[in-house]
C-alpha cells in the first residue's frame, strides 16, 4: 500500500488501526534498556513511539501517512514525540539512535530497507524489527497475503552485517488472547522478530 492508501485506511478507522500499546515482544525487549534516543520506523498511529516517550526516551516517529501521524500526535503523550512525515527510502536521521524499532514495515525491498534502518543504530544501540512472517499466510493469521513482502528469519538475519550481534532472530506467535489482535481476528498470527545490538 502506498501513502494515499494508508491515509484512506486511517481516515476510515475509528480511533486508529492498531492496538494501543506496542507488541508484547517489543515491550519485553525495550523495558530493560536505559532510555536515550529512539527512532520508531513506520510508526503508524504512534503506539510504540508514545510508549517509549512515556518511559523517558527521546523519540522520533517516522511514517509516510499524514493521517496516521495526525492521529498519533493527537493521542495522549503525542506531544512528547517528534513526528516526521517521510518515506524510509529517502529519510535520514540527523544523528544515529540508541534504539531503532520497526513494527510491520512491509515493502518490496524488505532486506534493503532493514539494512538501511540498521545504519541508523548507534554503536552499542539496539535494533528491533517485527513483521508478519511468510508462514502467517498458511496459518490463517491476519496481515498481508503477498509472500514477496513478508519476513523470514533468514531474510532479517541476512540484512545485517558483522557490526551487529544477534540476540534473537526467530518466529514468534501472537495468540488470540493478545490485545494486539483486533477487528475480530480469531487465528494466531506468526511474526518474525529480529533483536540485534550494534557492537562496532
Q: Indicate the domain borders of the chain.
A: 3-198
**Stated pTM of the model:** 0.90
Q: What is the pLDDT of residue 122?
A: 98
Q: What is the pLDDT of residue 181?
A: 44
In the chain, where do the E strands start and end? 37-41, 58-63, 82-85, 97-103, 121-132, 164-174, 189-198
Q: What is the pLDDT of residue 5?
A: 67
Q: What is the pLDDT of residues 75-120, one digit of tens each?
A: 999 999 999 999 999 999 999 999 999 999 999 999 999 999 999 9
For domain 3-198, give the CATH number: 3.40.50.150
Q: What is the pLDDT of residue 61?
A: 98
Q: What is the pLDDT of residue 3?
A: 57
Residues of 62-90 as b/e, b for ≥16 C-beta within 10 angstroms? bbbbbbbbbbbbebebbeebebbeeebee
Q: What is the pLDDT of residue 14?
A: 60
Grade residue 142 by pLDDT with cuts at 50, 70 and 90.
confident
Burial category of 145 from C-beta neighbours within 10 Å (exposed 0-12, middle 13-18, buried 19 and up): exposed
Q: What is the pLDDT of residues 15-60, one digit of tens each?
A: 555 567 899 999 999 999 999 999 999 999 899 999 999 999 999 9
Nearest to 3 by CA among 67, 70, 78, 75: 67
Grade residue 141 by pLDDT with cuts at 50, 70 and 90.
confident
Strands 189-198 and 164-174: antiparallel
CB 48 within 8 A of CB 103: yes
Q: Which residue has the cell 522478530?
A: 193
Q: Rounding to the nearest 10 degrees, give the CA dihedral for residues 158, 178, 19, 64.
A: 10
Distance CA 22, CA 115 (A): 22
Q: What is the pLDDT of residues 148-200, one digit of tens each?
A: 999 999 999 999 999 999 999 999 998 654 545 455 555 688 999 999 999 99
Distance CA 185, CA 200 (A): 42
Amino acid at each position: 500500500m502506498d501513502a494515499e492508501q494508508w491515509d484512506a485506511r486511517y481516515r476510515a478507522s475509528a480511533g486508529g488501526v492498531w492496538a494501543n500499546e506496542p507488541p508484547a515482544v517489543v515491550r519485553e525487549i525495550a523495558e530493560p534498556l536505559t532510555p536515550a534516543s529512539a527512532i520508531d520506523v513506520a510508526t503508524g498511529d504512534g503506539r510504540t513511539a508514545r510508549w517509549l516517550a512515556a518511559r523517558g526516551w527521546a523519540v522520533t516517529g517516522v511514517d509516510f501517512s499524514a493521517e496516521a501521524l495526525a492521529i498519533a500526535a493527537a493521542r495522549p503523550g503525542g506531544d512528547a514525540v517528534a513526528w516526521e512525515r517521510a518515506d524510509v527510502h529517502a529519510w535520514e536521521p540527523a544523528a544515529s539512535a540508541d534504539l531503532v524499532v520497526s513494527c510491520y514495515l512491509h515493502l518490496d525491498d524488505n532486506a534493503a530497507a532493514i539494512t538501511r534502518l540498521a545504519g541508523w543504530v548507534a554503536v552499542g544501540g539496539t535494533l528491533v524489527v517485527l513483521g508478519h512472517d511468510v508462514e502467517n499466510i498458511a496459518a490463517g493469521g491476519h496481515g498481508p497475503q503477498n509472500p514477496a513482502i513478508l519476513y523470514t528469519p533468514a531474510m532479517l538475519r541476512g540484512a545485517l552485517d558483522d557490526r551487529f550481534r544477534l540476540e534473537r532472530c526467530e518466529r514468534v506467535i501472537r495468540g488470540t488472547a493478545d490485545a494486539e489482535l483486533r477487528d475480530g481476528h480469531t487465528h494466531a498470527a506468526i511474526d518474525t522478530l529480529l533483536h540485534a545490538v550494534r557492537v562496532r
